[in-house]
Structure formats: structure tokens, C-alpha cells
Amino acid sequence: MELEGVSLPLIHKHLMMPWNDLKRGDCCGRSGFTTGGYYCKRCDFYVHKKCVDECLEYIEHPSHTVHACWSIIEFCLY
């Protein structure tokens, strides 16, 4: 039985699994965050939850009155 993943379409094209690991993040290149993150087994791609939370920014814009917009900061460096 395969576990369901988390959809983070603005971060990665595949479903990602919640993952608690101290590995180096492909998001910022740093190791050691203890807040967990998300992992794509297919691509061996790992992002820290902190980077996901801080790199997605909700914005309101007059040209998007019907729905929300998201802005992605391409590189998050701490």
C-alpha cells in the first residue's frame, strides 16, 4: 500500500511525502533543520518545511480578484 503524498505544485511536480530528516535541503543547501520537510522519492528531492513556509508568499492583486495569487521566491537563503 502506497502512502498518500502532499501536493506542493509551486515547489515540485510530483507528490511529496512528509519527511523528518536532517539531510541537506535541495531548497537552500543547508542541513540540520529539525522541523521536518517534504521528500519526493522518485526524484530524491527534499525541501525543508521552513523553506516551503517562508518561500511561498500569498499576494492579492487587482487582476486576480476571483482567486489568490502565490509568489515564489526562487532562492531562499538563511
Q: Please give the chain's pLDDT, 78 residues, in tens.
A: 456 788 887 778 889 898 887 777 877 777 765 568 889 999 998 888 888 877 666 555 565 555 555 554 444 443
Query: Residue with C-alpha cell 539531510?
Result: 23
Q: Please indicate, yes or no, if residue 59 is contained in any of the structural domains.
A: yes
| Burial class, 19, CB count within 10 angstroms (exposed 0-12 / middle 13-18 / buried 19+) | middle
Q: Please indicate, yes or no, if residue 77 is contained in any of the structural domains.
A: no
C-alpha pair distances (Å), 13 with each of 9, 10, 16, 32, 74: 6, 8, 9, 25, 15
CB 52 within 8 Å of CB 74 = no
Query: How many folded domains does the chain comprise?
Result: 1
Residue range(s) defining the domain that contains residue 44: 17-72
